[in-house]
Structure 1
Amino acid sequence: MRFPLTWRLSLSPVLLSLLLVAGSAFAADGTPKAAATVHPSPMQQRPGRAAIASANFLATNAGHEVLARGGNAFDAAIAVAATLSVVEPESSGIGGGFMAVLHRAKDGHDVFIDAREIAPAAVDRKDYLHADGSPNRDAALKGPLSAGIPGEPAGLVLIARRYGRLPLQQSLAPAIRIARDGFLPDARLRNAIAEQHKDLQRWPASAAKYLSNDKPPAEGVLWRDPEQARTLQMIAAHGDDGFYRGETAARLVAAVKAAGGNWTLADLASYEAKERAPIVVNYRGYRIVTAPPPSSGGVAIAEILNILSGFELTRMDPAQRVHYIVEAMRRAFRDHNDYLGDPDFVQMPLDMLLSPFYADGLRQGILPDKATPSSMLPRAEAAEPGMHTTHFSIIDADGNMAAITSTVNYTMGSTFVAAGTGVLLNDEMDDFALVPNKPNVYGLLGSAANAPEGGKRMLSSMSPSIVIGADRVAVIGSPGGSTIITQVLEGILHFVDGESAQQITAHKRFHHQYLPDVVNVEDGAFDPATSAALTKMGYKLEPREPWGFMNVVTWDRKTNKLDAASDPRRPSGLGKVQ
């Protein structure tokens, strides 16, 4: 087990022995032990109604349609995810992957679904370098070499088989209908296509799908996606085999190879979505169920909450509260990508990172009136996923819950559509540390734990989370690359403070990720006095355009009231109770 230098120097032998004995919830390789997950008694109360918050009203309505057919939250999640693949391809889709935290009401069972993409077996770092050894950003971000083997289809099939009530055909029916019959693209999709126009032109199938007379779809013009409709029908009829084997798989591999990629039929046939035990942390009487590796988000959120549990944030003035939150963010981001990776490949000291004793040690290094320069902490090398992702939250009438974050990485993923499938492929290979100590598209570095290997999952910051208290429950998540972690953290803190779904999504945000050593601040997040106090403490405040697209569902069990809210920064989202 490797400990940061500052902590190693301060650990007493007694404390070290306590730490090593206390961490019993994780296996030797750092993966959570399913048997060690503690479930509370199942909730006896039922909401009686359902709430869904997603990034697009068509997807939210698709979820409610499936619920009306007798489906549960997990069937609705399949409908929402598949519909987003059709109507919001700039952010997610069946050519990408997702991470999900599910809560089953009847027995209190919590589970994490890992449908993250994997590297093809033939991955070679040299393919992402120029002749002079410098990073080839185009290969990492555009075209077939940038695409990992998709995980979303397998993840949806797994959810339907193990947790849904309805046949997969019924849950996928709304997405198939919308793709076949057409819909009106919203401004976000039209703008994304315009932004990626030149790269879409490079690939004939991409241009054919997204451009009309070499132009993005016009406002008010119906847009159909018949090839994706056929691919979804194949999945509906044949499950995993409808995507990872047979006709669709052959077309995917042929298209990728023809354009210079390295996928094989064996890569697709070997893909497996996995169930893992979620990370669970307790904070101020609430039980937070969140994402384990290969997400880095849940570990970081848990570490931050463990640090903050030693402070009375509610009694502090705004500047002091922000100071302690930022310092906890700084330390968690210092740690999380230095250690974390695919749990099937990397041994991780999760016992240490999630230990309250470790948080105690980190807390002692925070000065009450001064920022800690990141240069004063041991070096960490981080690699983060892209900014263009989506999240949706669901609570059904029985109290089942689904928090799902899905992505294709950068805007419109690789911009490469596999001919004959309608599938827009991800560009998740850039989430690996493709070139050691060289930044990815977001200016963040990579560590050996996140180096690419055939069959390995790239690290992610996706942080779908469920927060369960004695009287109140929240399902929460957001897109936003490395800011996902801090958005979800701040949302959890606001919920614990008693705020509503609408208040949580509307809050102005701030973000610190260790490096660069700046606090990103959304306009209006701090009043002038708070900004001045933070600057005096040594913080560099850097204004930033609004970020994120949070979708939150809450359940007040005292009043049995459900609320659903989508981020007001993005008008196409919809939170709906029905």
Structure 2
Amino acid sequence: MTRLLPRSAFARLLLPLLLLPAFAMPAFAVPAADGGTGREAPAQRPGQAAIARAHRLATDAGFEVLERGGNAFDAAVAVSAALSVVEPISSGLGGGGFFLLHQQDSGRDVFVDARETAPAAANADRYRTADGKLDSALAEDGPWAAAIPGLPAALVHVAENYGRLPLAESLAPAIRLARDGFPVYARLERGYAARREVMERFPGTRAVFLAGGQPPKQGQLFRQPDLARTLELLAKDGFDGFYRGPLAKKLIAGVRAEGGRWTTDDLAGYRVREREPLRFDYRGWEVVTAPPPSSGGVALAQMLQILAGWDLAKLDPALRTHLTIESMRRAFRDRTFYLGDPDFVHVPVEVLTSPYYAAGLRATINPEKATPSDMLPGLPTPLEDEETTHFSIIDADGNRAAVTQTVNLLFGSGLVPPGTGVLLNNEMDDFALQPGQPNAFGVMGFEANAPEPGKRPLSSMTPTFMVSPDRIAVLGTPGGSRIITMVLLGALGVADGLDAQAVAALPRYHQQWMPDVVSAESGAFDADLAAKLRAKGHTLRLPEDSVSGRASSHTWGNMQTVVWDRRGNVLEGGTDPRNDVGSAQVRAAATAP
């Protein structure tokens, strides 16, 4: 649980920042800490439902369940399970996720933490070579890379505690997709080619992905009969169908056959955690977002509350971008040192998300010049993998769900225990397996994120609600550590009044303290803006920059956004134009009886 930091500890955190030089800058009034002005209107209902998702078959699954009388939470189970079938590249029953839910009638928000947990046999020494270096192969590929999955338990928990329909009805579309198959799309074919060498080491994985003798090819029908049977067991027996009994034995046997050490207690002991979401005010919006073990909500609170001291809409693009970059820099510095699983370490959430702490950080920003990251004390911070997925839902009654789920790398660990169809994650790589030493993605961490039995690794997933008297937005995206800054830019777009599709399409840029560079998508900065940022001292890494040879990816993420305009009672969905199989749909739907 989250604990209040003693006043003396608060002072120790705040004082070093307040002693840094304060530069001439615009006024920076401390934002009000009243919880925001975005109060719900319980009697109002949209009368339609909207789902924004990165694969149209998952969107169809959600609407199928809504049409059967389900609510947003039943639809979330259906969409999540369907994605576990059609997007093995990004998520699945062998992974985990975060479910941010809002019940319209009660006004209650809840955060369902289904992050994976470390098995009992895992410890930092297991992942080191004889000379003490991180063995990245163990952390990324095969049985020791896999943490205990959390997504199946979340599907059961959400259905039993928040849905209207039996779990079997919500899982029916996913079962059908796994049994009957779906057409392979380009990203799935490309992703398999990138991970083929690892995946084809394991007989259970070969049986799924080479069932026809060849790797998946675009347009071919991809069937997963073992996964269909696993989903049927989950539908029939709930938690026990996955974490105990015959399927659990197959999972353990498959991991142990490859040299891992999962136990029956590891699986049977898994539990989701319900946590209180983080909430804070940003210029009249109440923002509701992910608490630890997500790092995203804390960072989002810091960045938005730093930026609340300026009316960004009145600033020229160069100054607005500069200030946004500087807020990113400071939030990512704190992310590295203070955040971890709150069930295992003390996380000073109240301090890090305080508007007064944000005011102290704001005072260190020079509007005319970039702050060198080495002036903010510490060691380099992480760059995490990008393969994750997100969806957003509002139903006809106004219930809403923002869900981000993952297996970490492309196709996770690459290991499918034979007879299960379950592709296991490689979330052990998200722990600080060697303090101060980066993994393959540049991730560095410290004791707060060190592995322990049953502990959840730190995540960047940031499912978020934004609520004002006039509008409600549900948003999120995949993208590793860039998730946090993409959600920030999306939130700023919502606050600027952009519609859902415009928010999903916003250009993206990112600064994460260390390395001290600003990366951006193609076209995010025009030549004039790039020149002005460089003149302020920012080092830019752009796809257009062919000199450095280290340009960033041309596009990032996969933002999925739903916005309810309560003034005209209109729903709109926005799906990322970077994704060729996405689907955002609004459909008429019956309200609850």
SS in 2 for 1:100: strand
* CA distance 1:106–1:384, shift in 2 (3 Å): farther
- The within-5 A match list for 1:299-310 is 299-310=298-309
- Pairing 1:241-256 to 2, within 5 Å after superposition: 241-256=240-255
What is the rounded CA distance, in whole Å, between the counterparts of 1:487 and 1:251 in structure 2? 39
After the TM superposition, which residues 128-139 of structure 1 pair with which residues of structure 2 at under 5 Å, given as runs? 128-139=127-138
CA contact (8 A) 1:338 1:381 kept: no
The residue number in structure 2 matching 1:389 is 388
Q: Does 1:480 align with 2:479?
A: yes
- Secondary structure, in 3 states, of the residue corresponding to 1:558? coil
Deviates more, 1:199-208 or 1:218-227: 218-227
Matched residue, 1:17:
none
Question: What letter corresponds to residue 220 of structure 1 in structure 2?
Answer: G
Instruction: Give the paired residue count.
Output: 559
Q: Return the match for 1:566 from 568, 575, 579.
A: 575
Partner Cα separation in structure 2 for residue 90 and residue 71 of structure 1: 28
**Residue number in structure 1 paired with 2:444:** 445
Tell me which residue corresponds to 2:561: 552
Aligned AA (1:291): A
Q: How far apart, in 2, do the equivalents of 1:368 and 1:394 lie?
A: 38
Residue of structure 2 equivalent to 1:335:
334
Residue aligning to 1:198: 197
Residue 366 of structure 2 is aligned to residue 367 of structure 1: yes
* RMSD of aligned alpha carbons: 2.0
Q: Aligned partners of 1:405, 1:10: CA distance in 2, in Å?
A: 33
Q: Over residues 14-36 of structure 1, what are the superposed CA-to-partner deviations in whole Å (9 max), with x where a residue is unaligned?
A: xxxxxxxx9999xxxxxxxxxx9
1:269-308 pair list within 5 angstroms = 269-308=268-307
Tell me, what secondary structure is at the counterpart of 2:182? coil
What is the deviation of 1:55? Answer: 1.0
Tell me if the contact between 1:39 and 1:110 (Cα under 8 Å) persists in the aligned partners. Answer: no
User: Judging changes above 3 Å, is the alpha-carbon distance between structure 1 residues 3 and 159 closer, same or farther for their aligned structure 2 residues?
Assistant: same
Match of 2:590 in 1: none
CA apart distance, 1:433: 0.3
Aligned pairs (5 A) from 1:361-440: 361-380=360-379, 382-383=381-382, 385-440=384-439
Asked if structure 2 preserves the Cα contact closer than 8 Å seen for 1:114 and 1:274, the reply is yes
Matches within 5 A, 1:76-225: 76-212=75-211, 215-225=214-224
8 Å Cα contact 2:141/2:426 also seen in 1:
yes
Q: 1:11 to 1:324 in 2, by over 3 A?
A: closer
The change in CA–CA distance for 1:64 and 1:371 in structure 2 (over 3 A counts) is same
Question: For residue 29 of structure 1, what is the aligned residue in structure 2?
Answer: none
Structure 2 CA distance, aligned partners of 1:220 and 1:506? 27
**Aligned partners of 2:246, 2:218: CA distance in 1, in Å?**
34
Name the SS of the counterpart of 2:425 in structure 1: coil
Tell me the secondary structure at the aligned position of residue 59 of structure 2. helix
Find the aligned partners of 2:145 and 2:32 in 1 and give their Cα distance.
38
Which residue of the partner structure matches residue 501 of structure 1?
A: 500
Quote the Cα distance in structure 1 between the aligned partners of 2:156 and 2:113: 12
Q: 1:8 matched to which residue of 2? A: 15
- Whichever residue aligns with residue 8 of structure 1, its letter is L
Tell me the distance in 2 between the aligned counterparts of 1:474 and 1:539.
Answer: 32
CA deviation vs aligned residue, 1:404-425 (integer Å, no higher than 9, x gap): 0000000000000011110000
Residue in structure 1 matched with residue 22 of structure 2 by the alignment? none
Residues 107, 3 of structure 1: CA spacing in aligned structure 2 closer, same or farther, 3 A cutoff? closer
- Secondary structure of 1:86's counterpart equals helix
Shift of 1:524: 1.2
- Tell me how far 1:131 sits from its aligned partner: 1.9
The structural deviation recorded for 1:382 is 3.6
For structure 1, the 5+ residue unaligned runs are 13-21, 26-35
Q: 2:74·2:164 contact (CA, 8 Å) conserved in 1?
A: yes
Q: Under a length normalisation based on structure 1, what TM-score does the superposition of the two structures give?
A: 0.94
Output the CA distance in 2 between the equivalents of 1:89 and 1:220.
16
Cα deviations by residue, 1:106-151 (Å, 9 ceiling, x for unpaired): 1110010100000001112222112222211110000010000000
Indicate conservation of the 8 Å contact 1:512/1:518, yes or no. Answer: yes
CA separation of 1:170/1:235 partners in 2, compared to 1, >3 Å: closer, same or farther? same
Residue 15 of structure 1 is matched in structure 2 by none
Percent identity among equivalent residues?
53
1:218 positional shift = 2.4
CA distance in 2, matches of 1:96, 1:38: 36
Shift of 1:4: 9.2
Q: Which residue of 2 aligns with 1:75?
A: 74
Shift of 1:45: 1.1
> Deviations for 1:291-313, whole angstroms, at most 9, x for unmatched residues?
00000000000011111111111
Equivalent residue number for residue 233 of structure 1: 232
| Displacement of 1:551 | 0.6
* Conservation of the 8 A alpha-carbon contact between 2:392 and 2:476: yes
Give CA deviations for 1:437-478 in whole Å, capped at 9, x if unaligned.
Answer: 111221121111000000000000000001111111110000
TM-score of the superposition, structure 2-length normalised? 0.91
Amino acid at match of 2:454: G
